[in-house]
Amino acid sequence: MTTTNSIQVAAAEPVEPGQLLIDGQLTEAHSGRTFDVMYPGTGDRLTACAEGGPEDIEDAVAAARRAFLPWAKMKPSDRGRRLKCFADLIDQHSTRLAKLTTLEMGKPRRESETVDGPHTAMVFRYFGEWCNKVYGETCPVDPAYLNYTMKVPLGVVGAITAWNFPILTAAWKAAPALAMGNTVVLKPAEQSPLGAIELGKLALEADIPPGVFNVVPGFGPTAGAALSSHLGVDKLAFTGEHRTAQHILKASAGNLKKLSLECGGKSPHIIFDDADLNGAARSAFQGIFSNQGQVCNAGSRLFVHTSVHDEFMDKLIHRAKKLRLGDPMQRSTRSGPVVSATHRDKVNEYIRIGASEATIAFGADTDPLVDSPGYFVQPTIFTNVQNHMRIAREEIFGPVLSVIQFETEEQLIREANDTIFGLAAGVWTKDVSKAHRIAHAIDAGIIWVNCYDVYDMCSPFGGFKLSGIGKELGRHTLDLYTQTKSVWVHIGK
């Protein structure tokens, strides 16, 4: 078993400091304050970023309000053209944006170049196409009246995002919001503000008018809280922890903001005895170790049928042994650091808790620390886990897998659903009836059968229970960024 893992990481290239982007202008914060953005690969300071606070949020919301009517009243096809141009520009700058993502949050460049950069462009293109495809309806009322509905924008949308997919989660919110005629104030996560600022600059290049898309980096309790409680913000779209979502829910009460909340998970990934064990092992591996497990729908609770448990674990551990932590900027690296020193310490603490609760089948048997100044965590697999243990109940958000054995379908369903979360689940079986039965029985917003973590722009993404409120992506998300107006006209009989 691995106890230490020595990793060489090259120093990061210099990066321009980040500024606020309000009303089309790059500015410093009112307070003049800045905060450090760190490079997780080495643990060194990458650059500084202006620290937006309540006064800056005030300015950004005012700018977004001024920009709202002209944007909302623009011909939908014209809005769509600009959003698609924005998508093209993101594509042109995709490699640069991906590099920035790797530098600010540490995911391997291979992932940021294949997912974060190109998918961000795809999201803006997909929603750009929707601008002139949302219809109202006429209602079959008394013929003395004409009654019709219109889908109208909400106004100013506040978007608060997490650091694990910094530009992509920003796109998931900003793209449908802008497509439906809203304006946006984005507060990116403090760990990874730089890519979001670059998106804001590209939006201006795409002829999206100043004030339509504003970016205010800063901290949660100051900038985030000011945005959540601001009476001039009509809707808040959030990605992050459910405990933060609970704060936001309360802070939004003042003007009954519309809310969509994408929170965490402890998703069950289920391997039946009749499964394709090779495919399932590949999927279980990807499901917990991609992006160092910092994925909301990570398959972090692996339920394996007792009769195939040992054979399956051999296959999974065989794969895990090939995992090499490395320099995230090298395109050959599959596994990089986690986002911050604080997060590394949190994940390592869970590994220590797990070592006292269950059996380490892969990972660090004595000390989970990796020999590197960067924020690396030793990927770890625990077996003999019981569903009541902390490593099975709490979201670790790191490369830590809890393997639970099951014997009957009834036990499986009970335990898989015994969680505060309900984001996603995976099921591996060749029995089509069983696959559907389990898909129906699991309380989660997304179910993958004989696959895991597949997604598409046109398919709704979002969870049940404390995993959130509302669906992102697909046409379902348009409902989150519009409201229905009913117009009655007396025409006589």
Contacts of 458 (CB under 8 A, 6+ apart): 126, 473, 474, 475
Beta carbon of residue 396, minimum distance to ligand NAD (angstroms, whole number) = 10
347, 397 contact by CB (below 8 A): yes
Answer for the pair 482, 133: CB distance below 8 angstroms, yes or no: no
Residue 145: CB minimum distance to ligand NAD, A: 43
Tokens read off for 27 = 């500015």
Q: Looking at beta carbons only, is 48 or 420 nearer to ligand NAD?
A: 420
Taking the least distance from each CB to ligand NAD, the nearer of 240 and 426 is 240
Closer Cβ to ligand NAD, 237 or 304, answer by number: 237
- Provide the token pair at 276: 């394709």
Minimal distance in Å, beta carbon 249 to ligand NAD?
A: 10
Q: Which residue has the tokens 């650059």?
A: 47
Under DSSP, the state recorded for 461 is B
Indicate the residue among 128 and 158 with the shorter CB distance to ligand NAD.
Answer: 158
H or E segment and range at residue 220: none
Take residue 49 and report the two structure tokens written for it. 């970023």
Give dist(CA 88, CA 96) in Å, integer.
Answer: 14
Nearer to ligand NAD, 5 or 239 (CB): 239
- Taking the C-alpha atoms of residue 206 and residue 198, their distance in angstroms, rounded to an integer, is 12
> CB under 8 Å to 289, separation ≥6 — which residues?
320, 323, 335, 379, 399
Residue pair 493/144 in contact (Cβ under 8 Å)? The answer is: yes
Task: State the catalytic residue, choosing from 262, 395, 415, 472.
Answer: 262
409: annotated active-site residue = no
The CA distance from 256 to 83, in Å, is 29
Residue 221: CB minimum distance to ligand NAD, A = 5
Residue 357 is among the residues annotated as catalytic for this protein:
no
What Cα–Cα distance (Å) separates residue 104 from each residue in 16, 117, 127, 198? 12, 14, 27, 13
Name residues whose C-beta falls within 8 Å of residue 110's C-beta, 6 or more positions apart in sequence: 331, 332, 333, 334
**How far apart are alpha carbons 311 and 110 in whole angstroms?**
31
Contacts of 221 (CB under 8 A, 6+ apart): none
* Contact partners, residue 76, CB within 8 Å, separation at least 6: 131, 132, 181
Q: Which of 51, 113, 296, 415 is catalytic?
A: 296
The amino acid at residue 173 is: K
Quote the least distance from Cβ 169 to ligand NAD, whole Å: 6
Closest approach of ligand NAD to the CB of residue 439, in Å: 19
Give whole-number Cα distances, 38 to 44, 192, 319, in Å.
Answer: 6, 9, 31
Q: How far is the CB of 491 from ligand NAD (least distance, A)?
A: 46
Gap between the Cα atoms of 270 and 280, Å rounded? 9
Task: Using the minimum distance from each CB to ligand NAD, give the nearer residue, 420 or 441.
Answer: 420
* Alpha-carbon gap, residue 161 to 166, rounded angstroms: 7
Closest separation in Å from C-beta 228 to ligand NAD: 5
Nearest residue to the partner ligand NAD, using Cβ: 220
Q: What is the largest CA-CA distance in the chain?
A: 84
How many CA atoms lie within 13 Å of 259's alpha carbon, on the beta-carbon side? Answer: 23
Return the number of the residue (240 or 379) whose C-beta is nearest ligand NAD. Answer: 240
Query: Where on the chain is the footprint of ligand NAD (CB under 6 A)?
Result: 160-164, 169, 187, 189-190, 219-221, 224-225, 228, 239-241, 244, 247-248, 262-265, 296, 395, 397, 423, 463, 468
Residue with Cβ nearer ligand NAD (263 or 281): 263
- For the bound state, the minimum distance from the C-beta of residue 219 to ligand NAD, rounded and expressed in Å, comes to 6
Residues annotated catalytic, as ranges: 262, 296
